[in-house]
Chains A and B, each alone.
Chain A
Amino acid sequence: MLKRILSMMATGEVQTQVELATALDVPEPLLSQMVAQLAAQGYLTQAAMCTDGCEGCALHMQCNQDRRLRIWTLTEKGQRAAAL
């Protein structure tokens, strides 16, 4: 199941967690948990919304809200695992 997530991400078959959950036929909350576990084990990493230099940025107030977009990318370890 987890390997399928990595390989589907690697091939670019899916763009969102909703698509991924549908493709794997699992509920979205369960998929979120799997994604979190893959991140905890170093297979995925969450793209940070902001680095420093946010002063003066018109969108900086939006950065730390729950309603923001989260992007998960494959790490090198994740890419290796996806290729297996």
Chain B
Amino acid sequence: MYTHHRHQRHVEGRSARTRHAADPEGQGLDTVVVALAGQPNVGKSTIFNVLTGMTQHVGNWPGKTVEQKTGHHLHQDHDLLFVDLPGTYSLSANSVEERIARDYVIQESPDVVVAVVDAAIPERSLYLLAELLLLPAPVVLVMNMMDVAEQAGILIEPEVLQAALGIPVVPMVATRNEGVERMLDAIMSIVDGTFAYEPRRPTILPAHQEVLAGLIALVTDYVPEPYPVPWVALKLLEGDEEIRAVVEERAPENVRQEIRAILYKHEDAVLDVAGARYAWIGRMVRAAVVRPRVGQVGLTSRLDAVLTHPFWGTLALLAVLAGVFFLTYTVSGPIQGWLSDLLAQFAGGAASFLSALGSPAWLSDLVSDGLIGGVGTVITFMPILAVFFATLGFLEDTGYMARAAYVTDRFMHIMGLHGKSFMPLLLGFGCNVPAVLGARIIESPRARLLTILLAPLVPCAAQLAVVTILGSALFGNAAGLVVWSLVALNLVALAALGLVLNRFVLKGEPAVFIMELPLYHLPNLRTIGLYVWQNILAFLQKAGSVILVASLVIWFLSYFPAAGDISQSYIARLGRAIEPLGQLMGLPWPVLVALLTSFVAKENTIATFGVLYGDFEAVLPRLLTGPAALALLVFQMLFVPCIATVAVMKQESGSWKWTAIGVGLLLVLSLVASIAVYQIGSLL
């Protein structure tokens, strides 16, 4: 009954108004043009489809590749032409959709604009409403998805909102066709003037009202029809480049310069303009929306009251860390022990098999001690890593890790670290290499350097696995507490070193940031499983490459030139050269050599123990006193980072000097701490 020609004529702008236009069949119906505005995913299209059905016309907006949909609906002898505007978050010309929407409302001046809002999150859409109310077309507010809001426990009072806004407000569930007729009535009440349309628009702060008045006076003669002059002046204050171009195209040079001078002087007026809109939204929401005290948000708030509390949150974090290590030992300890036994039998069997075949002694030794003793021992880490990563994945997936970040942030402040430093340091628990690389996100050179220097003190997963194995062998049931204390020691050392560097060497800047904590979630087992699997895979790849090569080198150095007599080997010569240092920590030279090989990769400590001692889990407890065992673990935790981390420290700091200082500081720290632990421990 209506031709597309008429829709197109209107929406393409060749006719300013189509009200009272006669239809081609001469029925003489009035046409009311209604624009549907709203954010994406607020149910705008559902409303459009419910209303227009088969009369829809789909094309493109003139000169744009954005889809344009129009359609008709007959209501009380009125032809309502609905124009579905692109989904937009505001009318700030940030995107082509926003430009289309605002140009349409300004230039085509529809009879009514229907602003559709998601009732479950009204705050998100009301900014768009605040902007629409500044345009000439009258607005009807539709609160769609009232059912979703109700399910979420959000109570909305449309009448209160209507009174507060001074415009019609219609509750709706478009998917159930509820509220649609009421919306049509509201549209007609605007058109026929039965609704007293008196919108309460957001205003700008007094500080900028005078500036706005000055701009209005300045640009009045240069604003083309049909742009409203006050709106244009406001957009200029907001820094809208498109509107500025529209005005400058018509204004003489002296006026252009005057406008630029005002805008330069009031560059931050946008904060007051937009800030006033948000304050207006806040008032509207407080007046008409009641949020629930229960449910997911409520649960998050209740949990956060404890988990982000300065005292209880710190206590909870320490308890969680202790729980992670306890679980790691309880679950993976027995499996790791069983794998070690299996490995010892396998090594013995392989050596016997090779001897039976008549292979040379060195080959048998290479396979049983070099390959199986080195790489094989490292592979027995797997249960420990699996449990460790599963617990880490669980904590991350529930949203707890973000709280851990929040709690530890207080300590970051003390060190004067930039807020961004936390991210790289958090990554350090996985691997120190991305932790150092991650410092790139910090603009301040001093904060970046400080982060690079401190990152190696965050114990990486490989380091944790090593101390877990050694702790278990050396301290038995007390291993969990020991490892937990070692992690705490590293973090305390990180804080202390950070404090010293910040205070005396790299004077820090105040940390300026806020965190957005995610809601708590039930963990997804598939996500955690994939996380564990990927990490185990990465670990196995490392075992098959770097650790394999290092194990073979260590075996070679320990076998030759005395054909298996380790006391006469190359490695023994090296070990004896540094033995005096080891004695200060109560450590024999093979232990010191094993610790030094962790410079290649942290796991090499275990691989080297496997090569040099065979069943080191049985040997080490007999070899080392309690203080010496503790000194060993302290040294392992504080020792210089692996070579890959050192390489990226140089790359990212761009300085050999700072790389050397960073490595040197850790070397001194590890030596001093482990010597102190042994010497003091021996006195007790």
Interface residues of A (CB under 8 A from B): 1-4, 6, 9-10, 12, 14-20, 24-30, 32-35, 37, 40-41, 43, 47-54, 56-62, 65-74, 79-81, 84
Which residue of the partner chain A has the closest CB to B432? A57
- B121 to chain A: which residues have CB within 8 Å? 29
Report chain A residues within 8 Å CB of B521. 67
Q: Which of A26, A51, A68, A80 contacts B402 (CB 8 A)?
A: A68
Cβ-based interface call for B437 (8 A): yes
Q: Is the CB of A30 within 8 A of B282?
A: yes
Q: Write the nearest CB–CB distance from A20 to chain B, whole angstroms.
A: 6
- Chain B nearest CB from A1 CB (Å) reads 4
Which residues from A are CB-within-8-Å of B43? none
Partner of B516, one of A1, A60, A69: A69
CB atoms of B278 and A58 under 8 A apart: no
- Check if A72 sits within 8 Å of B274, measured CB to CB: no
Distance (whole angstroms) from the CB of A66 to the closest CB of chain B: 7
Contacting pair B648 A67 (CB below 8 A): no
Q: Across the two chains, which residue of chain B brings its CB closest to A47?
A: B420
Does B422 interact with chain A (Cβ within 8 Å)? yes
Give A10 Cβ to nearest chain B Cβ, in Å.
6
B124 close to A33 (CB less than 8 A): yes
Report Cα–Cα, A66/B520, bound state, in Å.
11
Pair B308/A34 contact, Cβ less than 8 Å: no
B39-68 with Cβ < 8 A to chain A: none
| B279 interfacial by beta-carbon distance below 8 Å | yes
Chain B nearest CB, measured from A56 CB (Å): 6
Q: Which residues of chain B are within 8 angstroms of A19 by Cβ–Cβ distance?
A: 514
A-B contact pairs, 27 of them (CB 8 A): A2-B271, A2-B278, A3-B268, A15-B406, A16-B517, A17-B517, A30-B123, A33-B123, A34-B278, A35-B514, A37-B127, A47-B420, A53-B433, A57-B427, A58-B392, A59-B426, A62-B401, A62-B531, A65-B527, A66-B518, A69-B402, A69-B406, A71-B419, A74-B512, A74-B513, A81-B271, A84-B268
Residues of A within 8 A of B297 (CB): 28
Which of B301, B402, B542 contacts A67 (CB under 8 A)? B402
Residue of A nearest to B291 (CB): A27
Q: Nearest chain B CB to A46's CB is how many angstroms away?
A: 9
- The verdict on A56 contacting B538 (CB below 8 Å), with A16-B308, A30-B282, A47-B420 known, is yes
Find residues 226-248 in chain B having any chain A CB closer than 8 Å to their own CB: 239
Write the nearest CB–CB distance from B445 to chain A, whole angstroms.
14
Contacts of B331 in A (CB 8 A): none
Q: 17 extra interchain contacts, Cβ-Cβ under 8 A, other than A58-B431, A62-B401?
A: A2-B271, A3-B268, A3-B275, A12-B510, A14-B514, A15-B409, A18-B304, A26-B278, A27-B291, A30-B124, A35-B516, A53-B648, A57-B431, A57-B433, A65-B527, A69-B516, A73-B513
Interface string of B257-283 (1 = CB under 8 A from A): 000000000001011101110110110
Known: A58-B392, A61-B534. A9 touches B514 (CB 8 A): yes
Determine the interface band of chain B, counting residues with CB < 8 A from chain A: 35 or more
Q: Is the interface of A mostly helix, strand, loop or mixed?
A: mixed
Enumerate the 5 nearest inter-chain pairs by beta-carbon distance, A residue then B residue, closest first: A58-B430, A53-B437, A1-B275, A69-B402, A30-B123
On whether A72 and B431 interact (CB within 8 A), knowing A16-B308, A61-B531, the answer reads: no
Given contacts A57-B434, A62-B396, contact A69 B420 (CB under 8 A): no
Residues of A within 8 A of B282 (CB): 1, 24-27, 30
Q: Please, how many angstroms separate the alpha-carbon atoms of A61 and B397 in the complex?
A: 11
Contacts of B440 in A (CB 8 A): 51
Complex contact B438–A50 (CB within 8 A):
yes
Say how far B101's CB is from chain A's closest CB, in angstroms: 17
B429 touches A58 (CB 8 A): yes
> A82 to nearest B CB, angstroms?
8
Instruction: Identify the closest chain B residue to A61 (Cβ).
Output: B531
Contact, CB under 8 Å: B441 / A48: yes
Contacts of A33 in B (CB 8 A): 123-124, 127, 278
Q: Which residues of B in the span 287-338 have a Cβ within 8 Å of any Cβ on A?
A: 289, 291, 297, 301, 304, 308
- Neighbouring A residues of B515 by C-beta, 8 Å: 15-17, 69-72
**Closest Cβ of chain B: how far from A71's Cβ, in Å?**
5
Given A18-B304, A73-B419, A54 contacting B434 (CB threshold 8 A) = yes
| Bound form: Cα–Cα A50–B271 in Å | 30
A3 to B437 Cα, complex, angstroms:
33
